[in-house]
Amino acid sequence: MFGIHAVTSLLERQPEQVISLHLMKGREDDKLDKIARLASQIGLQQELMERDLLDEMTGGLVHQGVVAVCKPLKTYSEQWLFDRLAERSSPLLLVLDGVTDPHNLGAVLRTADAAGADAVIVPKDKSATLNATVRKVACGAAEVMPVVSVTNLSRCLDELKQHGVWVMGTAGEADQGLYETDLTGPTALVMGAEGKGMRRLTREHCDLLVNLPMAGEVSSLNVSVASGVCLYEAVRQRSQTA
């Protein structure tokens, strides 16, 4: 993981994930000093390095003078998911169908964590992996938001329905609007990739398709933005019925 905000969040929320910390030599920065202090408080190994070596570690991506070597993130199983559903009276899930851009996945995880979603579900063969870019963009959410990786997404949606979860897909051509849809019960919101949207089989396994109102000239939103709109509409509705 790299970047000031992402590493700071990780050290504050899940410092046990960090193996070692690498800081840029000679850089005077209050935010980097804070990272160094957090690392010292937990006895974490620190190393001062030249910029070019940090550049090599991140493949030339912007690291802001800090790189943390972390334990690999794990994804969760379908059995874990259904065990978790049994503990929730009205779960809120987000399903990503074909989101392969790590920046989008990271942004979605950050939003899902902020909205209090129970898990994000992705297919094993059509999804970005939990790499360093995802962790940086998620700013700590990738370490705490459960990501469930499933072999067969359509089958998983059917099993969710059997567990009483209402599966709602988002599609521009849908007749029903998001704001006219009840999101207060057990809900799985399904988001497709930009451009292609949901795959045909995924669409067919949804209980309902809804659209987001689009008043401008563009025909769709970035998947992370659309996810945020949908999740927070669910949060709004649920707060009124609590």
CB distance 237 to 92 below 8 Å:
no
Task: Report pLDDT for 44.
Answer: 92
Same domain, 233 and 149: yes
Same domain, 208 and 120: yes
What total of structural domains would you count in the chain?
2
Same domain, 136 and 173: yes
Entry pTM: 0.85
In this prediction, residues 29-54 reach a mean pLDDT of 93
212 is in an annotated binding site: yes
What CA–CA distance (Å, rounded) separates 12 from 44? 13
CA-angle at 186, arms to 182 and 189, nearest 5°: 70
- Report which of 233, 230, 222 is spatially closest to residue 104, judged by C-alpha positions: 222
Same domain, 13 and 101: no
Same domain, 99 and 44: no
**For residue 204, pLDDT beyond 70:** yes
Q: Could you give phi then psi for residue 90, rounded to 5 degrees?
A: -145, 75
| Domain final residue pick, 70, 87, 102 | 70
Same domain, 54 and 82: no
Question: Is the alpha carbon torsion for 178, 129, 205, 218 positive or negative?
Answer: positive
Residues comprising the chain, all counted: 242
CA-angle at 191, arms to 216 and 168, nearest 5°: 100
pLDDT tens digits, one per residue of 121-167: 999 988 999 998 898 899 889 988 999 999 999 999 999 999 999 99
Same domain, 53 and 95: no
In this prediction, residues 41-54 reach a mean pLDDT of 93
| Domain final residue pick, 70, 91, 120 | 70
Q: Which residues contact 155 (CB under 8 A, 6 or more apart)?
A: none
Same domain, 16 and 114: no
**For residue 218, pLDDT beyond 80:** no
| Position with higher pLDDT, 140 vs 190 | 190
Same domain, 48 and 106: no
What CA–CA distance (Å, rounded) separates 134 from 101? 9
| Domain final residue pick, 70, 94, 113 | 70
Q: Where residue 118 sits, what CATH number does that domain have? A: 3.40.1280.10
pLDDT tens digits, one per residue of 91-126: 999 999 999 999 999 999 999 999 999 999 999 988
Q: Where residue 22 sits, what CATH number does that domain have? A: 3.30.1330.30
Same domain, 128 and 235: yes
**Structural domain containing residue 53:** 4-70
